[in-house]
Structure 1
Amino acid sequence: MEQPKRQPRKPGWRFALLALVLAVAISAVVRSLWVDVYYIPSASMEPLLLTGDRILVERTGPESLNRGDVVVFDGRGSFAPLNSGNGPVVDALAEAGRWLGLAGSDTTYVKRVIGLPGDRVVCCDANGRLTVNGQQVAEPYVYPGDTPSEMKFSVEVPAGRLWLMGDHRSLSADSRSLLGAPGGGMVPRERVIGRPVQIIWPLDRFAAVARPQPAATTTTTNGQ
């Protein structure tokens, strides 16, 4: 009597699991080297970025930054304590949510570069304008109705550091809020992760995040 032929095993779940592992691995490599996804948890960068936006961030070196660039950066040691953490399990879940673009990070921030190393940043002058190296800065990105800053300050940005501010000045906790802290609110340039290049979610806000031209300035004369 002829024996029935054995059917070859189907790849089944093993193939699906292998494909998933490979996809995750490739995604991890891409996100660690070229682009990453971040969740916007606050209104500090309105009107450019809204709470709940997911942005695609192009990883870039700090040497390529210009005044006016929007940057994502690691705030540990400047905006956040170096030992930030809530335990391994909670931290792992939070990191998974951040990696999936479902939640923000307690140590990652999005702000705009206002002062580069060596700059003197002052606010405000007699006309209520922010100045960099004695020149008034045009800031069309500031939230409508906000002033350049309700807090007065005059700072010189040290070598290797950045002065960063949010666009929604009345709601943004930024370099101004840390003037009395170690480092004076200045963020090390090497802490910059990259620049937002695309809003990818929600779909009705899908749009490129254009890199601005170097911030326009006008010479200040006689306080006018």
Structure 2
Amino acid sequence: MVMAIVVKTFFLQAFYIPSESMEPTMLVDDKILVQKVSYWGGDIKRGDIVVFDDPGGWLAPEDSRKASNVVQSSMEKIGLFPTGGHLIKRVIGVGGDTIRCCSEGKLTVNGKELDEPYLLDESATKDQTFEVKVRKGYLWVMGDNRGNSSDSRAHQGDPGGGQVSEKSVVGKAWVRVWPFGRAGFIHKPDTFEAVNGK
């Protein structure tokens, strides 16, 4: 029991996908493991898919699934029952970045146009216009299903301006464990290599 709690706290934790906001990368009720080791030094990167605590008002009460019995509650404590009350999105910008939408339907980060093959519908943001500067220690996050994702864009009017504190990040989506037919490691595309200077 002690070892399981240590693993949940510092290494791995189970989560489920509660909505369609990350389709087609993640489907509703996919079960994933989130690893925390990568962020021990706080090195969150553009393109990472992260699980984070609700910054406040991003989730409706029905979206915060809780354990419904003693067995599930016990499993939740040791990280084996998927935890609710969190969100999962892709990191588009980190502290210091300027995010602009949209150049011919495409996002730009620090003036570099993004080619995002993981999107469900590339045209979902073509009519949107915004420009934000990400504060140090914060992230700009968006779902892969841009037409159905209440992400940083939808919360620009909130006190935090839609930006998510790095401190609220639980970890990085690492592997899909269910359903078995889609199980496997979650890979980051090379979309952000131009922004990273590679």
The interval holding the TM-score normalised by the smaller chain is: 0.7 to 0.9
- Asked if 2 retains the 8 angstrom alpha-carbon contact of 1:113 and 1:162, the reply is yes
Alignment match of 1:206 (pick from 183, 189, 194): 183
Judging changes above 3 Å, is the alpha-carbon distance between structure 1 residues 51 and 137 closer, same or farther for their aligned structure 2 residues? Answer: same
Q: Which runs of 5+ in 2 are unaligned?
A: none
Deviation of residue 216 (structure 1)? 4.2
Deviation of residue 79 (structure 1)? 3.3
Mapping for residues 43-122 of structure 1, pairs under 5 Å: 43-59=20-36, 60-61=38-39, 63-77=42-56, 79=58, 93=68, 96=73, 99=76, 105-106=84-85, 108-122=86-100
Deviation of residue 101 (structure 1)? 6.0
Q: Percent identity?
A: 37
Judging changes above 3 Å, is the alpha-carbon distance between structure 1 residues 91 and 190 closer, same or farther for their aligned structure 2 residues? Answer: same
- Counterpart of 1:49 in 2: which secondary structure? coil
* Equivalent residues, number: 187
* C-alpha separation in 1, matches of 2:10 and 2:188: 20
Mapping for residues 143-154 of structure 1, pairs under 5 Å: 143-144=120-121, 146-148=123-125, 150-154=127-131
- With structure 2 as the length reference, what TM-score do the two structures score? 0.82
Deviation of residue 213 (structure 1)? 3.5
- Counterpart of 1:147 in 2: which secondary structure? helix
Alignment match of 1:190 (pick from 160, 163, 167): 167
* Aligned residue number for residue 137 of structure 1: 114
Deviation of residue 129 (structure 1)? 1.4
- With structure 1 as the length reference, what TM-score do the two structures score? 0.73
Q: C-alpha root-mean-square deviation of aligned residues, in Å?
A: 2.9
